[in-house]
Amino acid sequence: MNCCYLREAVTFCSLGNTPDEITHGIHSNPIEKYKEFTFGTEIISRQYRGIKDKKVTGNDEFYAVLEQLLLELITKSHLDSAQMEECALLIGSTSMSIPCSEPIFKSNPNETMLPHIGYGGIGECLAQTFGLGGEVSLFTTACTSSANALLYGQMGINTGKFQRAIILGFDFYNELTMSGFESFGLLSRDGCRPFDANRSGIVLGEGCGAILLDIIPSSYNSQLILRGGANRSDTSSPTAHNTNGIMVAQTIRDALCDANIEPCNVGLIKAHATGSETNDRAESTGAQQIFSQMPPVLALKSSLGHTLGGCGAVELAVLWFCLREGFIPKTYGFEVMDDSIEIIPSQGESEAKEGILLLNHFGFGGSGVVLVVQFGECE
């Protein structure tokens, strides 16, 4: 069985567009930024974490940003043409090309058709631009989209289906998504507070992340290895996992089993932690069914915003940058423990130690993906 290494990663997010900017930015409280959008006949404003110094407001910028991201990944990885020819491209996103169509719709409100129909075109265009010859797959499973792409990439490498795969996760700003979340009353007005008793909802974010999974280790001193994971479906509600935590626990259990890891060996949980009460409750209840002693818990969405389908790739890239710098970041936004949940996420930075990390992802449509990652050398 092949070992699935993270060989390289690049991400553009609200903290910055380079590992240095991101690891520097994550040392400080997230800057409050607001976005105005149309909601019915009103213009309203909600917190939003847009990508630093980049705007995606149409087709050209959409592809320009994704191409820049992939170019940086390919350049930093030193992929040769033979490796590119057989490299798979696995894409996960919730909004896909909506940010391309929406501005056209907005300026022509009597438009009757989406100008950019179909998911495959995104993959085909990017594969052609860079001469990526392997399988092109697109995953659209809400907030677990790019986590599913990572899991499938690991399975493909383990089984020898391919030797390397670029995982591309992204979600760019669009009013449809902002309005949709607002229609559920899920958007926070004063910031994301994961697991906090005074939580007030989600802060959406924008981001894109590209990760090269490979049978070849990375050139960095410390390796990150994707050991396995599980995808499980909770059908109790279309919008959230059941707060009884049963399916969250099942997904964690199956992920650990797939990676051949005992719960007691998990050194860190990177929680999904959207800052919504239902997610906090379902995730913590589920985790408590698996771990007799809860490992340290980290939440990144209070720093990055919730990058939806992109969060699997974006948050893994950000976490890897921090681990390479030798630290596990602080969870921002948490102040008061919710007595009914009893989870206190990381309250300060701590030293990164080799070990097993659990990465949780839960989304609309009952989708749950838990990934198991090893920080350190392959056995």
Partner 1 sequence: MKPLYIEAVSLLLQEVSESSLELKKELEHTSGQKFRRVNHFVLLALAGVFRLPNLSTIDSQCSLYVGTANGCVRDVIKMLEQMYRDTLLPMPFTFMGTSTSMAGFHIAQTLGLSGSNLTVSNPYGAFEQALSMAYTEMESGKSASALVGCVDEGVFPLDEFKKITHNDDEVVLEGGCWVKLVLECANPLAVIIARESFKTLVEVEDYCEKYVLNEPLTVIRNAKSGYVGASSGIDYVRALQEQRSGMIALISQTGLMSFSVTLTRILG
Choose the stretch contacting partner 1; rule: CB under 8 A; options: 121-129, 262-270, 276-284, 329-337.
121-129
Asked if residues 16 and 31 have their Cβ atoms less than 8 Å apart, the reply is no
Q: Taking CB under 8 A as the rule, does residue 159 contact partner 1?
A: yes
The continuous run of DSSP H or E covering 208 comes out as: strand 207-214
Q: Taking CB under 8 A as the rule, does residue 247 contact partner 1?
A: yes
Provide the minimum distance between the beta carbon of 136 and partner 1 in the complex, in angstroms, as a whole number. Answer: 5
Half-sphere exposure at residue 356, Cβ-oriented, CA atoms within 13 angstroms? 19
Choose the stretch contacting partner 1; rule: CB under 8 A; options: 55-63, 154-162, 206-214, 350-358.
154-162
Q: Between residues 206 and 258, which has the closer beta carbon with respect to partner 1?
A: 258
Asked if residues 34 and 189 have their Cβ atoms less than 8 Å apart, the reply is no
What's 205's DSSP letter? E
Site for partner 1 in 2-41 (CB under 8 A): 38-41
**Binding letters toward partner 1, positions 36-75, x by CB under 8 A:** --xxxx----------------------------------
Query: Of 98, 157, 225, 300, which one interacts with partner 1 (CB under 8 A)?
Result: 98
Give the strand pairing for 297-298 and 266-270. Answer: parallel
Site for partner 1 in 295-354 (CB under 8 A): none
Q: Taking CB under 8 A as the rule, does residue 214 contact partner 1?
A: no
Whole-angstrom distance, CA of residue 102 vs CA of residue 273: 29
CA triplet 261, 265, 269: central angle to 5 degrees? 95
Query: Of 74, 96, 147, 313, which one interacts with partner 1 (CB under 8 A)?
Result: 96
For the record, the structure tokens of 156 come out as: 């493909």
The continuous run of DSSP H or E covering 103 comes out as: helix 98-107
Q: Taking CB under 8 A as the rule, does residue 221 contact partner 1?
A: no
Asked if residues 306 and 48 have their Cβ atoms less than 8 Å apart, the reply is no
Asked if residues 310 and 204 have their Cβ atoms less than 8 Å apart, the reply is no
Provide the minimum distance between the beta carbon of 50 and partner 1 in the complex, in angstroms, as a whole number. Answer: 20
Judged by CB under 8 A, how many residues of this single chain contact partner 1?
Answer: 74
Query: Of 7, 170, 172, 175, which one interacts with partner 1 (CB under 8 A)?
Result: 175
Provide the minimum distance between the beta carbon of 355 and partner 1 in the complex, in angstroms, as a whole number. Answer: 25
Find the farthest-apart pair of alpha carbons in the chain and give their distance in angstroms, rounded.
Answer: 60
Query: Of 16, 30, 123, 295, which one interacts with partner 1 (CB under 8 A)?
Result: 123
